[in-house]
Structure 1
Amino acid sequence: MHDKYASVVKILHSEASDLMSLAILSGRDPFRFYNGADLTSLDLTNQNLTGLNFDGADLRFAHLEGASFDKGSLNRSVLDAAQLHLKDGFEFNYQDVLQFPGKEILMFCMIRSSLIDEILIDFGINYSVFAEFSKISTGALRKARVGKVIAIETAQLIFNGVFRFSKTLDSKIGMKCINSIEQPCAKMLVGGNNKPFVEISAEDVHRLFEIRRRRIAHMKRERGTNASPYVDYRDTAEYLMFYKHLVDDIDFWTKFDEESA
């Protein structure tokens, strides 16, 4: 039998019915095994779904009564109206934060309250040790631990610190800590400067970068070679609002105008 079918046959012959066991039998990474999967109407009652991520998975009408799962693991799933309470509003994971080009758009971040406490317990270290390891102040770390708004650069240092420290630990504990930040666990926000912070979605972030791209193209057309001193500086969402006419997206800007008024 061809090797590529071996895991399929193993799953079909298995008496296991819980998602974690089936994911392990696949021989693939259990954490991401169900990304984008069609899990509609499955009976997952009382299953232990911790250690699994369901980004893009369709769980509409699945029975999740009594099921346990990691915080954020369902935040990017497709859920029906009766299941929406299972999402907690954190859309971004540590990779989204680390990869965000903060030199292009000024952005702020909020990390799920209690997440850092739970990680440091697994690490077996206190705040001052982790702050020194991550090259941030203990004050900034304490703001992050209670879910206060921090600069995205601070969030990047925290997540980078968690990832690097996890690699020094026993593989099982280290992977648990990395998985906890690989689940959606952060929010991105714009605002400040005497205005309230406004949470924005991944789609909103994409729109901001599209407006920035068009702003730069527009300025180069308008100013030619004289545009170079102006095109590469970091934008704020407020400044990009002056260029909202470059995109046909009324709903987004109406929301931003109302929430930042």
Structure 2
Amino acid sequence: MSAFEDGISRVMRILSSKSKSLRELAALSEREVFDFYRGANLVGLDLSQQDLRGMNFDDADIRFSSMNGTIFDEGAFNRSLLDESQNWLKDEFVYSLSDIENHSSDSILLFIKFRPGFVDSCIDILGMRFKEFSARSNVGESTLRKARKGDIISFETARNILSFLKDTLPLFDPDQQKLVSNKLRQPMALFFSGGINTAFKPVSPEKLSRLFQMREEIAASIPNTNYLSWRDTAEAIEWNYTYWVERDL
């Protein structure tokens, strides 16, 4: 069977299924269930009483769908398209492990805030003592307490915590691995600028993308410099953009 024929066969299995379970339908595709519905059109469906734990719905459109009694992971719908009646499905946290790993912290200085309880829940799942986690993750106890409470911490501290969680998972049983892995992959953090003689301000994914674009435009406007090798704050980028780019528009 060719790859095309195999794909058609999977689609037909889904279409002919009588199941209303999003999990069961995704499993029929033989693809990873976690991100199967990212970007999907789920408008106006009855998704009530479903168990959607271990699934993520980034960029999925679920407006006007019933979610009564549905259980899901924190953050699963934080980057979905929702209607006003569905705002209870989300909180403010929009960044996941991959976003933190992929951010170029050598380019833009940012800080991080974890969802309160996120770190504690991971420690509890792995059955670790607080002091052990602190020592093995190379994060001081006072700083780790800040991360647990949802206070703002440095990017480096956040990466140490997440890297340790990710790297230590193979030492635990599959159920523990899965629970922590799902928490790492769901949105559970916020990015902040400021903190250096200025108030902290949240940085949305849209603003972050714009900041990187602004850096490119600044670099093109400053002659004979290696500007892109510098690390700037968001505030410095905005000031430099005003001075070097907007003045010439």
**Which of 147, 168, 172 is residue 150 of structure 2 equivalent to?**
147
> Could you tell me how far 1:218 is from its partner in structure 2?
1.9
1:165 maps onto 2:162 in alignment: no
Secondary structure at the aligned position of 1:192 is classed as coil
> What is the letter of the counterpart of residue 140 of structure 2?
S
Counterpart residue number, 1:242: 239
Secondary structure at the aligned position of 1:8 is classed as helix
Q: Percent identity?
A: 36
- Quote the Cα distance in structure 2 between the aligned partners of 1:165 and 1:123: 10
1:42 maps onto 2:42 in alignment: no
Counterpart residue number, 1:251: none
Counterpart residue number, 1:92: 95
Counterpart residue number, 1:14: 17
- Is the 2:216–2:228 contact (alpha carbons within 8 Å) kept by the matching residues of 1? no
1:195 maps onto 2:192 in alignment: no
1:60 maps onto 2:63 in alignment: yes
- Structure 2 CA distance for partners of 1:217 and 1:19, relative to 1, 3 Å: same
Secondary structure at the aligned position of 1:10 is classed as helix
> Could you tell me how far 1:9 is from its partner in structure 2?
3.3
* Runs (5+) with no aligned partner, structure 2: none
- Is the 1:59–1:78 contact (alpha carbons within 8 Å) kept by the matching residues of 2? yes
> Could you tell me how far 1:11 is from its partner in structure 2?
2.7
- 1:210-225 maps to which residues of 2 (within 5 A)? 210-219=213-222, 221=223, 224=224
**Which of 23, 27, 30 is residue 27 of structure 1 equivalent to?**
30
Counterpart residue number, 2:105: 102
> Could you tell me how far 1:231 is from its partner in structure 2?
4.9
Counterpart residue number, 2:120: 117
- Is the 1:36–1:58 contact (alpha carbons within 8 Å) kept by the matching residues of 2? yes
> What is the letter of the counterpart of residue 18 of structure 2?
E
- Is the 1:211–1:247 contact (alpha carbons within 8 Å) kept by the matching residues of 2? no
Counterpart residue number, 1:135: 138
- Quote the Cα distance in structure 2 between the aligned partners of 1:14 and 1:82: 30
> What is the letter of the counterpart of residue 65 of structure 1?
N
> What is the letter of the counterpart of residue 244 of structure 1?
Y
> What is the letter of the counterpart of residue 231 of structure 2?
R
- Quote the Cα distance in structure 2 between the aligned partners of 1:10 and 1:207: 42
TM-score (normalised: structure 1): 0.87
- Quote the Cα distance in structure 2 between the aligned partners of 1:11 and 1:172: 27
Task: Pick which of 78-87 and 238-247 moved more.
Answer: 238-247
> What is the letter of the counterpart of residue 218 of structure 2?
R
Q: How many residues align?
A: 242
| C-alpha RMSD of matched pairs (Å) | 1.8
TM-score (normalised: structure 2): 0.91
